[in-house]
Amino acid sequence: MPFQLPELPYAKDALAPVMSAETLEFHHGKHHKAYVTKTNELIDGEQGLSGASLLQVVRKAKESGNAKLFNNSAQLWNHSFFWQCLAPAQGQQPEGKLAKLIEDAFGNPQALLDKLQEEAVNHFSNGWAWLVLDRGSLRVTSLHDADTPFVHDGMVPLFTLDVWEHAYYIDYRNERPRFASSVLSNIVNWDFVAGNLDGQGFERANQGERARSPELTS
């Protein structure tokens, strides 16, 4: 079965005004969808990828140096993860074990948000700002273009912010700093971030016939 465009976990207008319904119509309905379509086209007929999960496709594309397939399949996964990192603004804050880890690594939640903001704003050109778990500690970093944590050691994904221009141009024009601060201050899904401390964040954006067979995911 081909890979699918995952449904958004909220209504298209649920993140407004931070992220408008129009942005979601384009970013999810056109950009993310295009990555799904292209990935399916590229794996059609590829040796050894029949029935592979999305994680397997991304890893095998990386290993074999198939840049087109890597870029499209990694973007399919990155966006599937990204939508889950967001939630309607309800004054949410990190709690429990996550709050403790944030305190240990950054001092307080605002210091973490400042660090993510800095990483997002200073990342040159297209890419993704990430909060990852690295050997038990939180770390902020960023990756270029379609690059994704699960092809790197020491990067268990907890949260990401898309800083490709297509993520903010409709609502914020060229103002990436205003986009980043607006998202980070208002619509982070801290429950999802906390859930990813179990190290299974990779699987939460995975799909495909083998996605539910952990022994087959590597």
Nearer to Fe ion, 69 or 167 (CB): 167
Residue showing tokens 């040796």 = 47
Among 107-115, 126-134, 157-165, 190-198, the segment contacting Fe ion (CB under 5 A): 157-165
Task: Check residue 164 for interaction with Fe ion (CB under 5 A).
Answer: yes
Residue 19 vs 43, nearer CB to Fe ion: 19
Burial label for 14, CB within 10 Å (0-12, 13-18, 19+), is middle
Closer to Fe ion by Cβ: residue 164 or 179: 164
* Shortest separation between residue 82's beta carbon and Fe ion, angstroms: 7
Q: Work out whether 147 is an interface residue with Fe ion (CB under 5 A).
A: no
What's the min distance (Å) between Cβ of 164 and Fe ion? 5
CB of 32 to Fe ion, least distance (A): 7
Nearer to Fe ion, 68 or 212 (CB): 68
Q: Can you give the chain as a three-state secondary structure string? A: CCCCCCCCCCCCCCCCCCCCHHHHHHHHHHHHHHHHHHHHHHHCCCCCCCCCCHHHHHHHHHHHCCHHHHHHHHHHHHHHHHHHCECCCCCCCCCHHHHHHHHHHHCCHHHHHHHHHHHHHHCCCCEEEEEEEECCEEEEEEEECCCCHHHCCCCEEEEEEECCHHHCHHHHCCCHHHHHHHHHHHCECHHHHHHHHHCCHHHHCCCCCCCCCHHHCC
Nearer to Fe ion, 10 or 106 (CB): 10
Residue with tokens 């971030």: 193
144 φ, ψ (degrees, to nearest 5):
-85, 150
Instruction: Identify which range of 1-9, 36-44, 65-73, 156-164 contacts Fe ion by CB under 5 A.
Output: 156-164
Which one among 162, 188, 196, 211 touches Fe ion, defined by CB under 5 A?
Answer: 162
Kindly state the smallest distance separating residue 170's Cβ from Fe ion, in Å. 12
Q: Which stretch binds Fe ion (CB under 5 A): 18-26, 40-48, 92-100, 155-163?
A: 155-163
Return the range that interacts with Fe ion (CB under 5 A); candidates 12-20, 93-101, 135-143, 167-175: 167-175
Specify the residue, 76 or 132, whose C-beta has the smaller distance to Fe ion.
Answer: 76
| Binding-site ranges for Fe ion (CB under 5 A) | 162, 164, 167
